[in-house]
Amino acid sequence: MKRLTPIFWMSLGLVSLTLSILLISDLMVGLIPDKAAQILTYRQKFSEAMAVQYSILAQREDNQGLQQALDLLVERNGDIQSVALVLESGEIMAMAGPHQALWTQPSGDRSTPEHIQIPIFNGDLHWGTLQLRFHSLETSFWTRVLGSAWVRFLALVIAYGFVGYFLYMKRTLRQLDPSSVVPMRVQAAFDVLAEGVVFLDGEDRIVLANRAFSLIVDVAPHDLIGKTLDSFEWRSSDTVDPPSIYPWKTARQGKCLKLDVPLVWERVGKTVKKFRVNCTPILGQRKQVRGILVSFNDVTVLEGTIRELELSKTELEKLAHRDPLTGCCNRRALFEAFEELWERAQRDGSDLVCIMADIDHFKSYNDRFGHAVGDQVIQLVAKLLSTTLRPLDIIGRYGGEEFCILL
């Protein structure tokens, strides 16, 4: 099972702290008013206002208007179930709704949230009472919880707060300097190494880079922190395109070593550098990859030297088998080729023709025009002979101005 990241637990802790602050503040100063108390206050004031209006109609003895007013009140106000105007003697003067079935007389003259009674006075004498029956405020626990604005507000704080804290912490921690938690002796040990060394975190970001690597990419060590190795212009040694997958990603996915992977780093206006890259995954207690240690061995000079040696070897082999003036086979190479062709002709019974050619009066050319012109004549004759031969035929310089052709 995948472990939850520290950022998750930090975000959860911040959300819990925020909720604690809100709840304590509500207990101390009452951030959210009591909904039931507000409703009760509203019902009481509303009932008092209605009592004043209906008492005026009653004093005018407008019984028809009073009844119509009560009927309209119950019809248009869904919160009121019934209403009645009761005289001091207990006689009901006017009523709307099933008041007698719904009304329960509270003890004394007190009102309840569902049963509101407002006394009406004529001077100092108690004239009557306006009784209003409201819907009950009592609901199920979950209805009260889900319908509470305070609960919905806290739910939004939890949801949006957690997402906000998580994204903020994730982005902020990237900007922190991980090198500050790396002991100086560790950094100094890495700086001593001649090869570039980089330590990557769980998201392939650089958390440590030694001085050799900073010199390779020409970036200050502290500016490398937080960058990804993918952001540099790497390419495969045999192509001009970036590799399909970088070795440090392969090491992370396979949880295995990647050794001597060739990579080329090329920067505009800079010398192309070639590296042999080694990647070592750092595993945690549960075998999860906590980071990658990547080393860059600069083999630019070494490969350049090897390439020069190969060119020198090719040139030496050419000089050992080719005449430097004409490019034809020298006498040694000619004899080796002749022996091979002679054995084949004897074995297979095939034909073998040997032609000797030289330049007449060549000495006079040298005496008259000089050796430089004589060399040009030899080169011209060798070129003419070579262009008339088949690919399998062999031409060699046998002597000074003498050539041997094997057909």
119-154 residue pLDDT tens: 887 767 777 888 888 887 766 666 666 667 777 888
pLDDT at 279 over 60: yes
Cα radius of gyration rounded to whole Å, the chain: 52
Q: Please say whether the beta carbons of 406 and 337 come within 8 A.
A: yes
pLDDT at 180 over 60: no
Q: Which residues touch 191 (CB under 8 Å, ≥6 apart)? A: 210, 211, 212
pLDDT on residue 1: 46
pLDDT at 56 over 80: no
Q: Please say whether the beta carbons of 385 and 403 come within 8 A.
A: yes
Mean pLDDT of 338-359: 85
What's the token pair of residue 164?
């906000």
- Render 116-127 in DSSP notation, one character per residue: EEEEEEETTEEE
Whole-number percent of the chain with pLDDT over 70 = 86
Question: Which residues on adjacent β-strands are paired with residue 397?
Answer: 403
pLDDT in tens, 64-76: 787 888 888 888 8
Residue 63: band (very low, low, confident or very high) from pLDDT cuts 50, 70, 90: confident
pLDDT at 257 over 70: yes
pLDDT in tens, 2-27: 567 777 888 888 888 888 888 888 77
pLDDT in tens, 352-386: 888 888 888 778 777 788 878 888 888 888 888 88
pTM, full prediction: 0.43
Look at residues 44, 49, 56 and name the one whose alpha carbon lies nearest to residue 127.
56
pLDDT on residue 92: 83
| Rounded Cα distance, 47 and 61, in Å | 21
**Which three-class secondary structure string do you get for 279-331?**
EEEEECCCCCEEEEEEEEEECHHHHHHHHHHHHHHHHHHHHHHECCCCCCECH
Could you tell me the sign of the dihedral formed by the alpha carbons of 376, 378, 380, 382, in that order?
negative
Mean pLDDT of 43-50: 81
Separation in Å, CA 344 to CA 178, 347, 352, 360: 74, 5, 9, 33
First to last CA, the chain: 77
pLDDT on residue 239: 63
pLDDT on residue 241: 61
pLDDT on residue 270: 64
pLDDT at 242 over 80: no
Residue with the larger pLDDT of the pair 145 and 272: 272
Look at residues 300, 309, 303, 329 and name the one whose alpha carbon lies nearest to residue 406.
329
**Which range (38-52, 152-166, 243-257) has the least confidence?**
38-52
| Rounded Cα distance, 401 and 404, in Å | 10
pLDDT on residue 344: 86
With residue 264 as reference, give the H or E element that holds it. strand 258-265
Q: Which residues touch 221 (CB under 8 Å, ≥6 apart)? A: 179, 209, 210, 211, 214
What is the average pLDDT value for the chain, to the nearest integer? 79
Helix, coil or strand: residue 269: coil
